[in-house]
Amino acid sequence: QVLNSNATIGLNIDLYSSFLFPFSAISPLCHNLFALYDDTTGMWYPPNYEFNITDETSVKLHYRMRFYFRNWHGTTEGESPVWRHCISKLKGGFSPQKTPEGTPLLDAASLDYLFAQGQHDFQTGVVPLRMSHSEAEQHEIENECLGMAVLAITHYTMEMPMPIASHEISYKRFIPESLNRKIKQRNFLTRIRINNVFKKFLSEFNHRTMKDGNITLYDLKIKYLATLEGLTSGLGSELHEPISLSSQGQSKSENMETNRDMEVLVTGTTGISWRKKPSTTPVIAKEKGKSKKNKLDGKQKNNKKTEANDSWVVFCDFHEITHTVIKEATVTIYRQDNKRMELHMASRGEALSFAALVDGYFRLTVDAHHFLCKEVAPASVVHNINNGCHGPICTEYAIHKLRQEGNKEGTYILRWSCTDYQYIIITVVCNETSVLESRSVCQYKNFQIEVSSEGFRLYGTDTFRNTLVELLEHLEGQSLRTDNLQFQLLRCCPPQPREISNLLVVTKERAPTPQTPMQESQLSFHRILKEEIEQEEHLGRGTRTNIYSGTLRVKSEEDEDAGYSSFQEVKVVLKVLGSGHRDISLAFFETASMMRQVSHKHIVLLYGVCVRHQENIMVEEFVQLGPLDLFMRRQQSPLGTPWKFQVAKQLASALSYLEDKKLVHGFVCAKNILLARDGRGTDEGGPFIKLSDPGIPITVLTREECVDRIPWIAPECVKSTSSLSVAADKWGFGTTLWEICYDGEVPLKDKKLTERERFYETECQLATPDCKELAELMTHCMNYDPKKRPFFRAIVRDIDMLEEKNPSIKPQPTPEVDPTMFEKRFLKKIRDLGEGHFGKVELCRYDPRGDKTGELVAVKSLKPENREEQSNNLSSEIDILKALYHENIVKYKGICQEEGGQAIKLIMEYLPLGSLKEYLPRNKSKTSLSTLLSYSIQICKGMDYLGSRNYIHRDLAARNVLVENERTVKIGDFGLTKSIKDNEGYYTVKDENDSPVFWYAPECLTHCKFYLASDVWSFGVTMYELITYCDSSKSPMTLFLGMIGRTQGQMTIIRLVKVLSEGKRLPRPEGCPEVTFKFLVTLHLKVST
């Protein structure tokens, strides 16, 4: 529509408005796929943009689908289908009947709209045809264009109310203008031939294909749009060209200085990627010469080598983003691992457009009720968050959530209607007495709230309220009646972080693991011998524990490399649970097990657990400046606001990490925060804190001990310790903010236990601190309704935004250093993690400051006896490694050079749960077949990614697949061995007890040649390990040795080849379903294919 007004008005395009939607009939469910586009400026507007219209203003806006997911129709082979989440998939589990993958992405009106948009873009060249590399391919593209015209004309004639002959319509209206011009330049006879051939094909299509195939208008639309994806290079992505780009990521090349020749690609299915602009960029047609729209280079159907495919570097997928910050024309995207990408755009408008693009895809794929930055936050999302209202989730998801909340009468959910923009629906739990069964039966009733310019009112009543909150407060005091039922609205269930619903779009790559009931983790921690620790000074008492300083003996890496063993002493903290508390030893070990699962720079490192006589001891790193509360109280003058902000931000970062891993700390308070660096000096880079362990879990504490923890313990946990959840950590974070604001003062310190209980019973609040910004955060966290507390990702985002708005509280910038170059002198060994054929892996802290504030990393190095065999192309292999970026591949962090560059160490991310070979045996009871298959799928995804980069792993096995958490695994240890020896035989079998030959495909054993298909064989063996839970008695090596007998050296390979050539394979594991075993058999064909 053309906006032209005689008065100054503001138009917010996000608000559900009768201004637009009666014309389009786009449903509320699909509305967030669309945005407004200015064809004149080539600019997409963010959803909260306000147009200030004067009598001189004339703006032509296009309502277009901006957020597009390739293969949403599911008909393109080789690409993952796309769908909305389905309730049957959310419930999980295996059943004989195949459940649908999900519900369709588009409704009928959205499909019609997209079809019209697709025709317009195809014909006008908004999305250009894919590049041709030969005359034959150009001819093929032209034929496909004529095929598109056949589909469009057939659809047009079928849709007309009056019959019309399709052969009377010229194809020229339905093909790209650029192709039309080419055809016009050809001689008369060629044009006649094209016209006749087209009419003949059109006639055959209408008389044979349409009638014989019973094809509908819907089928024609799907075929047209699916073909359009492969025929053009403009669907499913946006290409942006910032003035400059800096990206701190996985490799040195990603840590760029200001660069003016970069481009950034955003797609709904893969996330955000970047590359240096190709030196010879093909000319891409732009509509009306406008270059700012930048609609894109996407995948092409049947195009095996997508142009410049290898040059794109993935920065992140949307689920890895924590928040974005906009400052003038600069957009900064922050990742979970604190890496960031900064784009300086040509204008503020372009910055808002790009941020809105990322924000929109995040809400469609990760969290429908969260925004990454306020500047582009849709007004409807802000309204929903403030009012505890869901978007247009379907009734099935509303009922599913009410069941999860306990199905208590009066519990209700607010949600926008899926079909009508003017209504909010209340879905409430009601109990009806069954006459036949003489018992109370749970029912779910829906009521409509009418939304208009006058306000909000319950449908069927007369009174409007100004806000939704006012209306609900009025209704919650009333007794409501319907269908002979009488009830009250008692408790609202607001949206929760990353809640699964039909609002989210999913692909197979992003499909969530079926939700199974969480079970207690098997205890897992590193065991420390009593001879390795020495107890020293008594530091204080914890809850039922005594705390001492001490030393831990750790093997010296340098001496070990030199051929002899010595030890270095590391200062540690010993938390001792005495023999008098053996009844709570299990709870003590559970805390240790939880701490072992984490690796974060702002969380204290657990070295392990020691059992000494009747005592159980947790051995943790020693943090120099001790508890935060004591440090703050010792200061002669109050600490500044910037200092306090940094502490709050670091604590929120640590708790956000735990929240993402679905781990609960349980006792967040200032005395459990340790200060590694006070950071008050100008060159110290600010404070640095570490969250310590929570001590004894509240689940085994007495009621008096729980009450004594008021106001740190959440109110719901005082009522019942079984209510312990991540929400409890949010309350504790709020109380800790209060301590930080008041320089370590103890809240309620003079109150008796009865007074503390009364404080919660009357829902009192702590005094509001002077620091307004932190006080607001504190108030939000200390909400007595745990469901209404913000989640930590939003807290981190808001703190960052406060820093941007208040430069005075922002920390001083620190000098930039190359994050991928690690100096050996700063690598402090903690312990060995494992040993392979040529190298070893150690857990180290990279600590350039020497104050234990550095990050934990896994350091892989060659054994001294193998260093001379290192080939000169190791550096080129590292270049390949650092370009790999996938959620199921261990992240490369950098290299460490020593001995004048002659020896290289690889620095990788540290995953504390270890490999599947270690993890599965000790977690067998809680790992279902469904989880094992999920691990297998993730390994497939990682291997498929490696294969797409023309890279062969060569050593895929359970020992080389690491566990990030209970639901996620990552492939590791690839590339190193390939760089060490050439392709003719890089493994020398020295000891069959540690030989990878039992994972090798036959062609690897006989010809020493490795193919992509060779990894498929290894995957089959790896999957066999998973199905047997990595039981050593059923390992591939044990079973194959049983077939060939005990041998040594080359004879092992000869006999193994003979056994495999005879068709012998690993037997079906006990308890393995037949269908799973048949799949394993297909992976082990005689010849690699």
Least confident stretch, 79-93, 613-627, 1023-1037: 79-93
The CATH number of the domain holding residue 786 is 1.10.510.10
- Ranges assigned E (strand) in 368-422: 389-390, 411-416
Q: Distance from CA of residue 251 to its chain's centroid? A: 20
**Do residues 162 and 38 both lie within one domain?**
yes
* CA 779 – CA 538 distance, rounded (Å): 37
Strands 491-492 and 411-416, bridge-based pairing: parallel
Instruction: Provide the 10 A C-beta neighbour count for residue 330.
Output: 16
Q: Is 955 among the residues known to form the active site? A: yes
**Do residues 677 and 777 both lie within one domain?**
yes
* CA 137 – CA 295 distance, rounded (Å): 23
* CA 943 – CA 971 distance, rounded (Å): 8
* CA 837 – CA 859 distance, rounded (Å): 15
Q: Distance from CA of residue 325 to its chain's centroid? A: 19
Tell me the C-alpha to C-alpha distance, in Å, between residue 582 and each of 306, 527, 588, 596. Answer: 63, 18, 9, 21
Tell me the C-alpha to C-alpha distance, in Å, between residue 531 and each of 528, 612, 859. Answer: 8, 9, 26
**Do residues 311 and 326 both lie within one domain?**
yes
Q: Which domain holds residue 549?
A: 530-621
Residue 885 lies in a domain: no
CA angle at residue 336 from 335 to 337, to 5 degrees?
A: 90
Q: Answer for the pair 227, 151: CB distance below 8 angstroms, yes or no.
A: yes
With 50 as the cut, is the pLDDT of residue 286 above it?
Answer: no
Band of residue 744 on the pLDDT scale cut at 50, 70, 90 = very high
**Do residues 500 and 571 both lie within one domain?**
no
With 60 as the cut, is the pLDDT of residue 309 above it?
Answer: no
* CA 666 – CA 709 distance, rounded (Å): 11
The CATH number of the domain holding residue 274 is 2.30.29.30
The one-letter amino acid code at 692 reads: S
> Given this model, what pLDDT does residue 505 score?
93
With 80 as the cut, is the pLDDT of residue 795 above it?
Answer: yes
Q: Which run of H or E residues covers position 539?
A: strand 533-541
Band of residue 352 on the pLDDT scale cut at 50, 70, 90 = very high
DSSP 863-927: -GGGGGG--TTHHHHHHHHHH---TTBPPEEEEEEETTTTEEEEEEE--TT-BHHHHHHHTGGG-
Strands 903-909 and 961-965, bridge-based pairing: unpaired
Residue 763 lies in a domain: yes
**Do residues 746 and 642 both lie within one domain?**
yes
3-state SS class at 343: strand
Instruction: Provide the 10 A C-beta neighbour count for residue 1023.
Output: 21
> Given this model, what pLDDT does residue 852 score?
80
Q: Cβ contacts of residue 304 below 8 Å, gap of 6+? A: none
**Do residues 449 and 545 both lie within one domain?**
no
The predicted model scores a pTM of 0.76
**Do residues 272 and 389 both lie within one domain?**
no
Domain end point (choices 794, 821, 839): 794
Q: Which of 1035, 1019, 891 is nearest to 943 (CA)?
A: 1019
> Given this model, what pLDDT does residue 814 score?
54
**Do residues 227 and 81 both lie within one domain?**
yes
Q: Answer for the pair 1089, 1029: CB distance below 8 angstroms, yes or no.
A: no
**Do residues 924 and 979 both lie within one domain?**
yes
Residue 406: left (phi > 0), alpha (psi -120 to 50), or beta? left
DSSP 659-716: HHTT-------GGGEEEEE---STTS-S-EEEE----S-GGGS-HHHHHHTTTTS-HH
Q: Distance from CA of residue 192 to its chain's centroid? A: 56
Least confident stretch, 88-102, 630-644, 675-689, 911-925: 88-102
pLDDT tens-digit series, residues 173-184: 899 999 999 888
The stretch 573-588 carries a mean pLDDT of: 90
* CA 655 – CA 672 distance, rounded (Å): 13
- Ranges assigned E (strand) in 288-406: 313-316, 321-327, 330-335, 340-344, 389-390
The stretch 275-298 carries a mean pLDDT of: 49
pLDDT tens-digit series, residues 324-351: 999 999 999 998 877 889 999 999 999 9
Number of residues in the chain? 1089
Q: Determine the angle formed by the axes of helices 1012-1027 and 929-948, rounding to 10 degrees.
A: 170
> Given this model, what pLDDT does residue 745 score?
93
Q: Determine the angle formed by the axes of helices 468-476 and 379-387, rounding to 10 degrees.
A: 20
Tally of domains within the chain: 6
Tell me the C-alpha to C-alpha distance, in Å, between residue 847 and each of 131, 238, 826, 855. Answer: 50, 40, 5, 7
The stretch 246-254 carries a mean pLDDT of: 53
Residue 990 lies in a domain: yes
> Given this model, what pLDDT does residue 1049 score?
67
Which residues partner with 451 through β-bridges?
Answer: 456
Query: Which residues contribute to the annotated binding site for ATP?
Result: 833-841, 860
Query: What tokens appear for 611 in the block?
Result: 């059992």
**Do residues 153 and 215 both lie within one domain?**
yes
Residue 253 lies in a domain: yes
**Considering 14, 955, 973, 1015, which one is annotated as catalytic?**
955
Residue 1052 lies in a domain: yes
> Torsion angle of alpha carbons 315, 321, 322, 325, nearest 10°?
70
Q: Residues 890, 896, 897, 899: is their CA dihedral positive or negative?
A: negative
Q: Which of 69, 111, 68, 75 is nearest to 226 (CA)?
A: 75
Strands 839-846 and 827-835, bridge-based pairing: antiparallel
DSSP 622-667: --TT-BHHHHHHH-SSPPPHHHHHHHHHHHHHHHHHHHHTT-----
Q: Residues 713, 714, 715, 716: is their CA dihedral positive or negative?
A: negative
Query: What tokens appear for 633 in the block?
Result: 């109280």
3-state SS class at 136: helix
Q: Which of 1031, 1045, 1036 is nearest to 1018 (CA)?
A: 1036
Mean of all residue pLDDT scores within the chain:
82
Q: Which of 338, 310, 176, 312 is nearest to 239 (CA)?
A: 312
Band of residue 1084 on the pLDDT scale cut at 50, 70, 90 = low
Can you list the pairs that 718-726 forms with residues at least 24 positions away whose Cβ atoms lie under 8 Å?
A: 718/757, 718/760, 723/786, 724/664, 724/666, 724/697, 724/698, 724/699, 725/664, 725/786, 726/658, 726/659, 726/662, 726/664, 726/791
Instruction: Provide the 10 A C-beta neighbour count for residue 856.
Output: 19
Q: Answer for the pair 339, 249: CB distance below 8 angstroms, yes or no.
A: yes
With 60 as the cut, is the pLDDT of residue 99 above it?
Answer: no
Residue with more model confidence, 253 or 154:
154
> Given this model, what pLDDT does residue 926 score?
79
Domain end point (choices 179, 206, 231): 231
Q: Which of 797, 967, 970 is nearest to 362 (CA)?
A: 797
Tell me the C-alpha to C-alpha distance, in Å, between residue 92 and each of 406, 513, 514. Answer: 19, 8, 4
> Given this model, what pLDDT does residue 992 score?
40
With 50 as the cut, is the pLDDT of residue 13 above it?
Answer: no
**Do residues 498 and 428 both lie within one domain?**
yes
Residue 5 lies in a domain: no
The stretch 450-468 carries a mean pLDDT of: 91
Residue with more model confidence, 869 or 261:
261
**Do residues 107 and 204 both lie within one domain?**
yes
Domain end point (choices 328, 350, 376): 376
> Given this model, what pLDDT does residue 1037 score?
86
pLDDT tens-digit series, residues 624-681: 899 999 999 999 888 888 899 999 999 999 999 898 888 899 999 999 999 999 888 7
> Given this model, what pLDDT does residue 107 score?
92
Band of residue 307 on the pLDDT scale cut at 50, 70, 90 = very low
Residue 1008 lies in a domain: yes
Query: Which residues contribute to the annotated binding site?
Result: 833-841, 860
The CATH number of the domain holding residue 411 is 3.30.505.10
Residue 694 lies in a domain: yes
* CA 214 – CA 937 distance, rounded (Å): 37
